[in-house]
Structure 1
Amino acid sequence: MSAFKKLVLASASPRRIELLQQAGVEPDRLLPADVDETPLRAEHPRSLAKRLSKAKAEKAYASLKTEPDYSGSFVLAADTVVAVGRRILPKAELVDEASNCLKLLSGRSHRVFSGICLITPDGKLRQRLVETRVRFKRLGREELESYLASGEWRGKAGGYAVQGLAGTFVVKMVGSYSNVVGLPLYETVGLLTAEGFPVHFGWLSGPRV
């Protein structure tokens, strides 16, 4: 019976969906939670990631109460924050934002924090925070301009997508790669499994690749 437990992902991020699918987990529904992502005054990057992931999960969970088909679902949410020291970088929407982010990241180390929040069918709330350290090469003018022209940075925290062209910028990474992409798989699967979601049920159908 446990195999029929439903999972609602409080996100429409293609990256998070693909990562869950990589782990053999197919969300039953996508329910993006629109929350104000503006950092609070003097808020630490790790606190922001935890706060936003919790807010997204709680908003999605509350909206499911009027939907009997999903009332017994697990709700999973995540938020990823890129920071240099205590400085939180934006999710770049304008080319100038992306340019400023990449110039700041060029030749130095930064941290990527992901908050994960899971609300179980009986309303229990579980959270994890994951941190990865990333060091970029020094970016030349031509490769910076070329990357900006690619448009790959749009909507990405810190103005880059490590799973794409920006992977060539990474000199060193300490910690979870999937965390930098947008969802730390080890911690996410561990959280789901610990709370009784049948993660491994989807593996029984055989090889996925």
Structure 2
Amino acid sequence: MPQLVLASASPRRRELLDQIGVIYRVCPVDIDETPQRGEAARDYVERLARAKAQAGFRASGGREPALGSDTTVVIDGTILGKPVDEEDAVGTLMRLSGQTHQVMTGVAVADGEQCLSRVVITEVCFIQFDKQRAHAYWRTGEPADKAGSYGIQGLGAVLVESISGSYSSVVGLPLAETASLLEYFDIGVWQNGGAQ
């Protein structure tokens, strides 16, 4: 029987929880993800992670703790969300080309009595590339639902020169910090033998 509710429809977060052997059930939530005026990116991802965890706990009927998470890409203090169209995605990718940016992921677990959270920041350096490559990447379909218009775990990996920090956090869930939070709530990892 699941001990945890995953308040997310993200297939990447499901894959990451599967990887570390967590038993869970999915209960996606819909919350307003608009940044607040003057809100720092770190505070933004932590607020959303906490809000998702709390909403997931309520939506599940309050039977198991819920995990919420949010990932955003930040360059020069600017939050780069999911692209609205090809022009937006290409503009974002060109802004990241040849630059180092931050990927911030907030993760939270709530059980009705308390909500604990962590924020993990990873530095990602992109290679230099041109608009032709950015348009070609868009046509693969991968960037459409990704913060920062790329997925490091997929085809977008060829754009990444280096990272400093947590790879799993860039994918969508910092596994060491997630495991620590789950342990606090007596939710074990390695319960289903890991990825099948």
Deviations 1:78-119 (A, max 9, x none): 000110021000112311221111011001000000110101
Rounded to whole Å, the distance in 2 between the matches of 1:116 and 1:146 is 32
Q: Could you say which residue in structure 1 is the equivalent of 2:46?
A: 50
TM-score, length-scaled by structure 1: 0.88
Secondary structure of 2:118's match? strand
Partner of 1:173: 163
1:17 aligned to 2:14?
yes
Structure 1 CA distance, aligned partners of 2:68 and 2:135?
Answer: 34
> Which runs of no fewer than 5 residues in structure 1 stay unpaired?
66-70
The residue number in structure 2 matching 1:39 is: 35
Cα deviation, residue 5, structure 1: 5.5
Greater Rg over alpha carbons, structure: 1
Matches within 5 A, 1:26-175: 26-27=23-24, 29-65=25-61, 71-120=62-111, 123-175=113-165
Deviations 1:115-136 (A, max 9, x none): 101013x622111110000010
Give % identity: 39
**Does structure 1 conserve the Cα–Cα contact (< 8 Å) formed by 2:86 and 2:135?**
no
Note if 1:197 corresponds to 2:187.
yes
Structure 1 runs of 4+ aligned residues shifted over 3 Å read none
Which segment is superposed worse, 143-152 or 56-65?
A: 56-65
Q: 2:3 maps to which residue? A: 6
CA RMSD after TM alignment = 1.5
Residues of 2 paired with 1:100 and 1:114: CA distance? 22
Amino acid at match of 1:152: E
TM-score in terms of structure 2 length: 0.94
Change (3 A) 1:208 1:40: closer
**Contact between 1:76 and 1:117, CA under 8 Å: does it hold in 2?**
yes
